[in-house]
């Protein structure tokens, strides 16, 4: 981790909170015809983003959740607050800890008449080392499973573009913490990167979430590059940073006094942070492969 990068990341959070007023999302003319999926949609940024989309009149909104009962509760709240019709919102099961669940979900989504956006919001932030599908859980959920879902949906996203003329957006939330990611575990030491990250004895879990977001950024750039060169059609993939927000993501830290003070002073509301994610879903093709911050491309 370069000191300059860490200082830049910290300064960016302060600047964003003190001086940036995020635009409230506005709809697009074609939104009432579109189908958009939001993972992790029953709480936090995913829930608030879903509320914006419903308010803006999206044609079909799929709430992808691990627990169906919580998804149904979220659907009811969204309908009550936005006036969206019951038929415009569906609740589907999806567990990003399970490759089988991801495959089943992608198969079902591939049967949709069109697919215009995916907000891959579901993620984890923990300092505890656990394995998920044979890989360290943070890397598995935030990186591997997120791109597994993207690759499995790619044929459907390409087919939808051919039918509608609209290129699907695939959005993965990022974080300014990626500037502070420890890089030692990415150094070539005679082992594959995943083998190093899956080593319980040497894992640096305090920096694992920032590292997962750095890997997301690398993968977004590479995915955009390769799909563009393929000539087979692609999606627009980007990775927006909602900045420090009040949400359930950092639940392990929420009990500490220091975190509570920092959150009260520096954190955006969950609704404010979700504006960045909705912007990334509805924005133009210039964002393909890009990191976004404060609703703008940051080089």
Task: Give the integer Cα–Cα distance in Å for 103 and 99.
Answer: 6
Helix pair 146-164, 208-230: axis angle to 10 deg:
30
Task: Give the integer Cα–Cα distance in Å for 74 and 66.
Answer: 12
* Active-site residue, 209 included: yes
Whether the Cβ atoms of residue 207 and residue 181 lie closer than 8 Å to each other: yes
* Active-site residue, 128 included: no
Those residues whose C-beta lies under 8 Å from the C-beta of residue 151, and which sit 6 or more positions away, are none
Residue 107 tokens read as 């198969």
State phi, psi for 154 to the nearest 5 degrees. -55, -45
Helical ranges in 83-171 per DSSP H: 99-109, 137-139, 146-164
Task: Give the integer Cα–Cα distance in Å for 63 and 42.
Answer: 7
Q: What does the angle CA 43 – CA 151 – CA 203 come to, to the nearest 5 degrees?
A: 65
Given 75, 209, 246, 291, which residue is catalytic?
Answer: 209
SS3 content of the chain, % helix, strand, coil (to 5): 50, 15, 35
Given 60, 75, 213, 246, which residue is catalytic?
Answer: 213
Task: Give the integer Cα–Cα distance in Å for 287 and 298.
Answer: 10
**Catalytic machinery residues:** 209, 213
């Amino acid at each position: 981790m370069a000191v300059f990068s860490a200082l830049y990341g910290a300064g960016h959070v302060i600047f964003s909170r003190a001086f940036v007023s995020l635009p409230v999302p506005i709809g697009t003319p074609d939104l009432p015809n579109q189908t958009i999926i939001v993972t992790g949609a029953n709480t936090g940024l995913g829930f608030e983003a879903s509320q914006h989309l419903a308010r803006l009149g999206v044609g079909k909104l799929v709430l992808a959740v691990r627990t169906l009962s919580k998804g149904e509760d979220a659907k009811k709240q969204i309908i009550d607050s936005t006036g969206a019709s019951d038929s415009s919102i569906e609740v589907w099961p999806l567990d990003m800890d399970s490759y089988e669940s991801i495959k089943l979900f992608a198969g079902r989504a591939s049967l949709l008449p069109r697919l215009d956006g995916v907000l891959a919001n579901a993620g984890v932030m923990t300092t505890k080392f656990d394995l998920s599908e044979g890989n360290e859980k943070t890397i598995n959920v935030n990186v591997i499973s997120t791109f597994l879902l993207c690759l499995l949906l790619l044929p459907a996203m390409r087919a939808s573009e051919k039918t509608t003329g609209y290129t699907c957006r695939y959005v993965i939330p990022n974080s300014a913490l990626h500037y502070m990611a420890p890089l030692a575990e990415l150094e070539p030491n005679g082992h594959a990167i995943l083998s190093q990250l899956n080593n319980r004895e040497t894992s640096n879990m305090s920096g694992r979430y920032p590292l997962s977001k750095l890997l997301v950024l690398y993968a977004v750039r590479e995915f955009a590059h390769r799909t563009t060169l393929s000539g087979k059609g692609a999606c627009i993939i980007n990775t927006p940073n909602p900045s420090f927000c009040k949400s359930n993501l950092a639940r392990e830290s929420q009990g500490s006094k220091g975190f509570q003070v920092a959150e009260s002073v520096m954190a955006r509301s969950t609704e404010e942070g979700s504006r960045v994610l909705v912007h990334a879903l509805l924005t133009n093709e210039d964002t393909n492969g890009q990191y976004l911050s404060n609703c703008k491309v940051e080089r």
